[in-house]
């Protein structure tokens, strides 16, 4: 079996549009995994967390699969799971708080 370097094959045969769609799909999947991990860490089902966040189970399911989530909705989700949402950026190795829980509501 012949091995190939990833750099040589990663975009082979893919149009720029297909690459963009693939990247968007990866972003959606990564966010879904992180949100699901928050819910599972709280030991809750989608229905239980949805009730606490005043979302239906189907709305919460869509939220977990979405790549474009409003900060206020994300804060409700995390708060309902018993957590606290904080957002920060790392610029030139320095962590800067962008948003803290009390600024979201």
- Beta-strand relationship, 94-99 and 87-91: antiparallel
* Residue, of 97 and 47, whose pLDDT is higher: 47
* Token pair for 54: 């005043």
Kindly list the distances between the CA atom of residue 82 and the CA atoms of 1, 12, 56, in Å, as whole numbers in the listed order: 50, 45, 18
Q: Which CATH class is domain 17-104?
A: mainly alpha
pTM greater than 0.75 (yes/no): no
pLDDT in tens, 34-81: 888 888 999 999 999 999 999 999 999 988 887 778 888 888 899 999
CB 76 within 8 A of CB 36: no
Query: Domain locations in the chain?
Result: 17-104
What is the total residue count of the chain?
A: 105
Q: Lowest mean pLDDT: which of 11-15, 28-32, 98-102? A: 98-102
Range 3-21 average pLDDT = 76
């Amino acid at each position: 079996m012949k091995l190939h370097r990833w750099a040589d094959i990663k975009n082979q045969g893919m149009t720029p549009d297909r690459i963009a769609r693939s990247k968007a799909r990866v972003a959606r999947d990564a966010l879904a995994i992180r949100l699901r991990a928050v819910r599972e860490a709280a030991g809750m089902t989608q229905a239980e967390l949805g009730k606490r966040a005043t979302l239906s189970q189907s709305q919460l399911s869509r939220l977990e699969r979405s790549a474009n989530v409003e900060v206020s909705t994300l804060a409700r989700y995390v708060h309902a799971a018993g957590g606290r949402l904080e957002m920060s950026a790392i610029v030139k190795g320095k962590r800067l708080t962008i948003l803290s829980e009390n600024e979201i509501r």
